[in-house]
Structure 1
């Protein structure tokens, strides 16, 4: 068993045309030898966003703090603190922070997906 602290993991920072104001920390994954899933913590700055994209694997997302605008094929949806979001494989999606406070969420994906 392993117990860790998220702030002890150095974040990857993204700030370009496709991804703006995003920090990603891989909490559990290949780094700990997890055989099935990868758990990541994302922090999105106000005005920031993930890329608008799709892929074969699903996401399970839990909003820890802040408010996410979730871009879906059916239009934008709001996910606030305490909300969960299930994104099936091959569905175009994006997480945007249109608020004035940081957005933090946990995202779990299968181990074969990119961490």
Structure 2
């Protein structure tokens, strides 16, 4: 069992050639007993974007703050705080921070354990 706050979780700068200006926190994972899903919090900085990719598992996204575009299967949809998305298996997708004020695009992303990669843990 776990009850905590995001301020207690280390923010990790994620590095890859496939995304830009992205940091993240692993909130719930096998490390705390979750053997099915992993809940991550991502922060995409100004002019940043997540990887434009697809994979063979679904995942769920909930936007906490900022403005952006959810690109999914060739369609771009604006997102703001309160927006959410279900990304089915094998659908090309990407989140892009479109704010012009330097604000972060912050969102939660839940994936199955096998989909949790890129944090070095």
Q: Could you tell me which residue of structure 2 aligns to residue 48 of structure 1?
A: 48
Q: Could you tell me which residue of structure 2 aligns to residue 82 of structure 1?
A: 82
Deviations 1:27-79 (A, max 9, x none): 00012020211100001101101110000111111011111211122321111
Unaligned runs of 5+ in 2: none
CA 1:16–1:111: 2 relative to 1, 3 Å: closer
Q: Aligned equivalents of 1:50 and 1:33: distance in 2?
A: 27
Q: Aligned equivalents of 2:20 and 2:40: distance in 1?
A: 17
Q: Aligned equivalents of 2:71 and 2:13: distance in 1?
A: 22
Q: Aligned equivalents of 2:14 and 2:115: distance in 1?
A: 19
Give the alignment's Cα RMSD to 1 decimal: 1.4
Dislocated runs of 4+, deviation >4 Å = none
Aligned residue pairs, count:
115
Q: Could you tell me which residue of structure 2 aligns to residue 73 of structure 1?
A: 73
